[in-house]
Amino acid sequence: MKNKTLAIFGIGTCILSVLTSASDLAGNFKFPAALILISGILGLIFIVIATIRIWKESKLLSILLVSSYIVLCIFLAIQEVVTPSYGSPLIILLNITKVIHIIVFVCAIIKLFKMK
């Protein structure tokens, strides 16, 4: 898989994860659990392959990509267990982590497009 193909795969996994996160007003997911699981697995595969590819060019970006993904997964797991109230520090930290992960993700996509 070439770097540009990997970048397009990453964009596709991001779009799929956004689509599968849709829920109704009661909080029930609109898509089956199997599709949500596939989306998560594809996202993890992209993170691993992109980290390996980017490691040669930019170790800092690779470390940021993996660490932001791990921290995001930890906060999402905590949110499922605890179910915090509106405006709690956990929700604020989760949202900050999501923003940081998206910024690092976009930087990784740009890096993959620029790599030969």
Write out pLDDT tens, residues 15-57.
998 898 888 887 778 888 888 899 989 999 999 999 999 999 8
- Structure-block tokens of residue 49: 């392959």
Give mean pLDDT, residues 3-22: 91
**Residue in the structure block whose two tokens are 């980017």:** 54
Burial class (CB in 10 A: 0-12, 13-18, 19+), 8: middle
Dist. CA 107–CA 102, nearest whole Å: 9
The upper half-sphere exposure of residue 73, i.e. CA atoms within 13 Å in the direction of its Cβ, equals: 11
Structural domain of 72: 3-114
Number of domains making up the chain: 1
What is the value of pTM for the model shown? 0.86
Are the beta carbons of 98 and 3 closer than 8 angstroms?
no
Residue 95 has pLDDT above 80, yes or no: yes
